[in-house]
Structure 1
Amino acid sequence: MSAPKVIITRPAHQAQNLQVLLETAGRSVAVFPLFEIAPIAHNPVLDQALLNLASYAMVVFVSPNAVDAFFMRQASDWRWPTEVAIAVVGAASRQALYKHGVDDQSVRIFSPSNTERTDSETLLPELDLPALKSKKVFIVRADSGRDFLADSLRQAQVEVQAITAYRRVTPQFDATKQQELQIYLNAGCDWVITSSAVLSTLLNWCAQLDQADAVAKMQQQHLFVPHFRIAERASELGFKHVRLTASGDEKLLLALQSPL
């Protein structure tokens, strides 16, 4: 019996690496984006911060999307100032930095040492808070999200500037997507979910299908998620088969290649 098709729910341009890894490993893959990323084109606050980047002690990227939204505003020959440290939450953000020519050889990059749980809570202990006291930290974020890290840094008397660089946008649930979703539901698939926000979108879309058991069928699909908060949210929404993996495409690949 062949392995189930893997459904990657990331935006198409962010699904390519995992898709190639899975197809090379012999898995059948479909990219079915449940959200898109929309950079904020007119963003004078962000542009001013970029001009003054050397005045910050650290820049924090909350996601790979934050990394991409930042670098799209820079010239192709721009180089990161080596005196400005970087902090990221997970392996995917590190990979995004590498794609833009930034690595540990050129700048200090902080990230959680516990790869089994990568979030703001595990990033915070990695930072030298006494050294950051009274200094400026620039957080590049989406238009929604948690404020734990910003609030914690401010409590440590760090001067924090959190700037929205992009928005998450839900695609239109058109006839093509309705047909695709119905096919995936009835086939039974392995779903890669990398954002807790898309879980509600997925169930809402299922409820719109002309299929009475669509929501129940979705809740029986196998989900692979790289963060415990996504796993918790999936359980709250009634999903029955949720597998928590470590952060990064290679860890997702390993989980998808391992027996349930």
Structure 2
Amino acid sequence: MSSHTIPGALELAGASVIITRPAATAAALVRAVRRRGASVVRLPGSRLCAIEDADATRAMLFAAQSADAWIFTSPAAVDFCLALTGPFTRAPARQVFAVGAGTGRALARRGIASIVPLGSQNSEGLLDEAALSTPKGWTIAIIDAPGGRDLLAPGLRERGATVSRIGVYRRMPPQLTRRQLDALDQAARPWLTLLSSGAALEHLMAVLPSGPIARWQREALIVSSERLRDLASGHGFADVHVARSALDADLIETASSVLSRHRL
């Protein structure tokens, strides 16, 4: 967050902040938004579920311990991986990488040191890291969810690495309750939606009734990348703002900036 922002200040007071992260990973963001005075509407765009064939996935993870590098794509990938393997007695590979600081913190809590992008907190930022600039001859395991964005694997293969993707969890469409839909319908304006997943947006566009969608499209959307801005624009959102990253502080800082302009 900007050095000019006072931690805990009520800079989001009067707004309804819609949080689209899965319930299992949204708690810290919910707390941070509430501390800043906003009303929170929880509208999870995905459900995170365990992988169907746990035994086969566990066998792949243990076989991949001989790889040169593992890349974890999200905190959920860390949690679901460790649920399958149990704690590692050593690092799962010679080098461990995290797509973003949040994933790096999740690994650190499990006693695993990782290399985190210094620049953009995403796949592009990780590919820019010097440690992955010349992986020719490496074997690399990417720990993620099936069907997710596939930028890392082709990029690393182009650099000469042998890459496998091991899906340790699934992103499923949400099962929204009547209570959640009512909370969205009754939420005070302005709405500020925080979005860091294309799958979440696609899921919500598929399951929400047309009325809430039409209202949602007229409100501000804070996204974590240019790619998500393009996706949101394609779905009819006109007021889209790009945060520096998917980190909580960056999403909140952009939301605060949008709200301050709305109040002018």
Is the shorter-chain TM-score for this pair beyond 0.5, marking a shared fold?
Answer: yes
In structure 1, the gaps of 5 or more residues are none
- 2:21–2:200 contact (8 Å) kept in structure 1: no
Deviations for 1:182-205, whole angstroms, at most 9, x for unmatched residues?
Answer: 223x74411111211222333334
RMSD (Å) for aligned C-alpha atoms: 2.5
- Counterpart position of 2:253: 254
Comparing 247-256 with 7-16, greater Cα deviation is found at: 247-256
Comparing 82-91 with 15-24, greater Cα deviation is found at: 82-91
In structure 2, the gaps of 5 or more residues are 1-11
Give identity over the alignment, percent: 29
- Counterpart position of 1:94: 104
Determine which of 77, 90, 96 is the counterpart of 1:66. 77
Deviations for 1:127-184, whole angstroms, at most 9, x for unmatched residues?
Answer: 5457632221111121102333212222322121211111111122443333233223
Q: Does 1:39 align with 2:42?
A: no
> Could you tell me how far apart the structure 1 residues matched to 2:186 and 2:166 are?
40
What letter corresponds to residue 95 of structure 1 in structure 2?
R
> Could you tell me how far apart the structure 1 residues matched to 2:183 and 2:34 are?
19
Deviation at residue 110 of structure 1 after TM alignment: 2.8
CA separation of 1:50/1:215 partners in 2, compared to 1, >3 Å: closer, same or farther?
Answer: closer
> Could you tell me how far apart the structure 2 residues matched to 1:229 and 1:146 are?
11
CA separation of 1:199/1:61 partners in 2, compared to 1, >3 Å: closer, same or farther?
Answer: same
- Counterpart position of 1:238: 236
When the two structures are aligned, how many residues end up with a matched partner? 247
In the superposition, the TM-score normalised over structure 1's length comes to 0.83
> Could you tell me how far apart the structure 1 residues matched to 2:127 and 2:64 are?
21
> Could you tell me how far apart the structure 2 residues matched to 1:56 and 1:200 are?
34
Q: Does 1:8 align with 2:7?
A: no
The DSSP-based 3-state class of the residue aligned with 1:33 is coil
- Counterpart position of 2:213: 215
> Could you tell me how far apart the structure 2 residues matched to 1:183 and 1:23 are?
18
> Could you tell me how far apart the structure 2 residues matched to 1:154 and 1:2 are?
47
The DSSP-based 3-state class of the residue aligned with 2:85 is coil
- Counterpart position of 1:204: 206
The DSSP-based 3-state class of the residue aligned with 2:49 is strand
Deviation at residue 79 of structure 1 after TM alignment: 3.5
> Could you tell me how far apart the structure 2 residues matched to 1:15 and 1:202 are?
16
Q: Does 1:136 align with 2:139?
A: yes
